[in-house]
Chains A and B, each alone.
Chain A
Amino acid sequence: AQSVTQLGSHVSVSEGALVLLRCNYSSSVPPYLFWYVQYPNQGLQLLLKYTTGATLVKGINGFEAEFKKSETSFHLTKPSAHMSDAAEYFCAVRPFPLQGAQKLVFGQGTRLTINP
């Protein structure tokens, strides 16, 4: 079965510093990959996704992620953290084969804290 591992349940960075949130998946066939953000008392919002094509994917709010097949990773980065980035971040995969794979498999989440 597919699984997603997010390294670090809590990450703390200073405002203006690089944000790096790690995600690894287990699959012999590259799945579709997603990053979601959850602000307090709100639903999950899609940050970015990788399906096919360019392995560096740009999303909203200055975030980007790079799909690395050899490392089975899809780490999320942002060059300069902003206070408003404080939230919970979830990595998710849609397994192959796509037929019947409507459900998403989520990682445990990483809570990002931004220090002033």
Chain B
Amino acid sequence: GAGVSQSPSNKVTEKGKDVELRCDPISGHTALYWYRQRLGQGLEFLIYFQGNSAPDKSGLPSDRFSAERTGESVSTLTIQRTQQEDSAVYLCASSSQPLDEQYFGPGTRLTVT
């Protein structure tokens, strides 16, 4: 079946602009995660959705970052007033249950100029 997909694959934006990144999880997966991967670093957890429960936002670096998920489907990560330090690869993952294996998408490479 289809894996996790993300769009766009690449995004170049000017400092101060807002961007929206999209994640389509594997169908039927109740858990969805966003991570950020800065150049030369490991992945940093951003936010976690599980069904209709309140999301775990503990990894969001500032109030410029927000994310939404409609039911158990698509999620969007929004970064407002982008800064150069926001440049990174943003990875989405989903799992069938919270503690099950996480399946990752290919990521969105965001470059803020």
Measured CB to CB, the residues of A under 8 A from B are 4, 6, 9, 36, 41-46, 49, 90, 92, 94, 98, 100, 102-109
Min CB distance B6 to A, Å, is 8
Hey, which chain A residues are within 8 Å of B103, CB to CB?
Answer: 43
Binds A, one of B37-45, B63-71, B76-84: B37-45
Tell me whether A102 and B101 are in contact in the complex, defined as CB-CB below 8 angstroms, given that A4-B42, A43-B4 are known contacts.
Answer: no
Cβ-defined contact, B59 with A46, below 8 A: no
Size of interface on B: residues with Cβ below 8 Å to A: 26
Hey, which chain A residues are within 8 Å of B105, CB to CB?
Answer: 43
Cβ-defined contact, B45 with A103, below 8 A: yes
Hey, which chain A residues are within 8 Å of B104, CB to CB?
Answer: 36, 43-45
Cβ-defined contact, A103 with B33, below 8 A: yes
Q: B40: which of A49, A92, A100, A108 is its contact (CB, 8 Å)?
A: A108
Measured CB to CB, the residues of B under 8 A from A are 3-4, 31, 33, 35, 40-45, 48, 50, 56, 59, 91, 93, 98-99, 101-107
Q: B42: which of A43, A45, A108 is its contact (CB, 8 Å)?
A: A108
Interchain residue pairs with CB less than 8 A apart (18): A43-B3, A43-B93, A43-B103, A44-B104, A45-B104, A49-B101, A90-B42, A92-B43, A102-B31, A102-B48, A103-B33, A103-B59, A104-B35, A104-B45, A104-B102, A106-B43, A106-B44, A107-B42
